[in-house]
Amino acid sequence: MYGFGRKIGEQRKQAGLPRGPISAKFTDDNMSANLLSTQFRKIKKSGQKIAALTAYDYPTARLVDEAGIDLILVGDSLGMVVLGYPDTTSVTLDDMIRHTGAVARGAKAAPVIADLPIGTYSTPGEALASARAVVAAGATGVKLEGGTEMAPQIRALVEADIPVLAHLGMLPQKIREEGGYKIKGRSPEEIRSLHRDAAAVQDAGAFAAVLEIVTPGLAKDISQSLEIPTIGIGSGDGCDGQILVLHDLVGLYPWFRPKFVTARTELAAPLSAAVREYIADTKGTDPESR
Ligand code: KIV
């Protein structure tokens, strides 16, 4: 845990959100895209790894934040693990605003990064309007999917002092075009284009880049070629940090779990058991009979 401050600023005050404890170094007024970027580069240089998780609501954000996580992502994985859609492509900006507000109320120390959902950042102007909406709800910054083609959007956001987390490799918002979750970086062409994309998002001002299911060797090479940290998911341990969907980590979405996830606990089973017990107690029946 690096004690990041959170850029709350005017938008956060306007949203009626409480000020959280912030480090001596970063205050509401001085936290900027540049400072966040400088801080993340420093962490990378120091060799410390970044531990990031998703959260989608107040209690999980508060628990994850109080446990000392370095970054909280309000991921559009919200679509699957909270809203019950088959993928992220039905998530709307209103969904993200609603859940970002809840997470921001729970997280006092870690930066809260909100995903820009599909179709809300096709141009730099659209990206700016969408990002301002989630920042007004309490986000520190935003994540968006794509490489070289997203450089103008990233530049516009960073110029407006909105920190950007890039997302390369497997892009969940493209799942329908791609027909599934496919590992990236197997062909020479993919290797070249991922290197190009990584350099482009760094040059455009992203403070870090998520690498999703990229071959471990390539993820390591990209990590070594960049000054900004990479945060891997299913991309091996050569990245500068790791991110997971909270529900996968704690076994709260038992119907599907990616192969690369090691769950640290299985919360679905005790939750079901507590509900069965409650039903049986209320009805005066045997919980095992249900
Ligand atoms: O939406 C999400 O949760 C993500 C992470 C898994 C990186 O994009």
> Domain locations in the chain?
9-259
166 DSSP β-pair partners: 144, 209
Predicted confidence band of residue 8 (pLDDT cuts 50, 70, 90):
very low
User: For ligand 1, is residue 54 a contact (CB within 6 Å)?
Assistant: yes
- Nearest ligand 1 atom to alpha carbon 143: 8
Residue of the CA atom closest to atom 5 of ligand 1: 75
Query: 76 in ligand 1 pocket by Cβ < 6 Å?
Result: yes
Whether the full predicted model's pTM is greater than 0.85, yes or no, is yes
Mean pLDDT of 81-105: 98
Quote the ligand 1 centre to 203 CA distance (angstroms).
22
Q: Give residue 31's pLDDT.
A: 56
Q: Name which residue sits closest to atom 3 of ligand 1, judged by CA.
A: 75
Give the position, in ligand 1's atom list, of the atom nearest the Cα of 210. Answer: 7
Q: For 146-203, how does the pLDDT look when each residue is reduced to its tens digit (9 = 90+)?
A: 999 999 999 999 999 999 999 999 999 999 999 888 999 999 999 999 999 999 999 9
Q: What burial letters (b/e) apply to 144-177, b meaning 16+ CB within 10 Å?
A: bbbbeebbebbbbbbeebbbbbbbbbbbbbebee
Q: For residues 43-49, give the mean pLDDT.
A: 97
| pLDDT surpassing 80 at residue 32 | no
CA–CA separation, 95 vs 15, rounded Å?
Answer: 16
* Percent of the chain predicted with pLDDT > 90: 85
What CATH topology corresponds to 9-259? TIM Barrel (3.20.20)
- Kindly name the residue from 126, 159, 178, 212 that is annotated as catalytic: 212
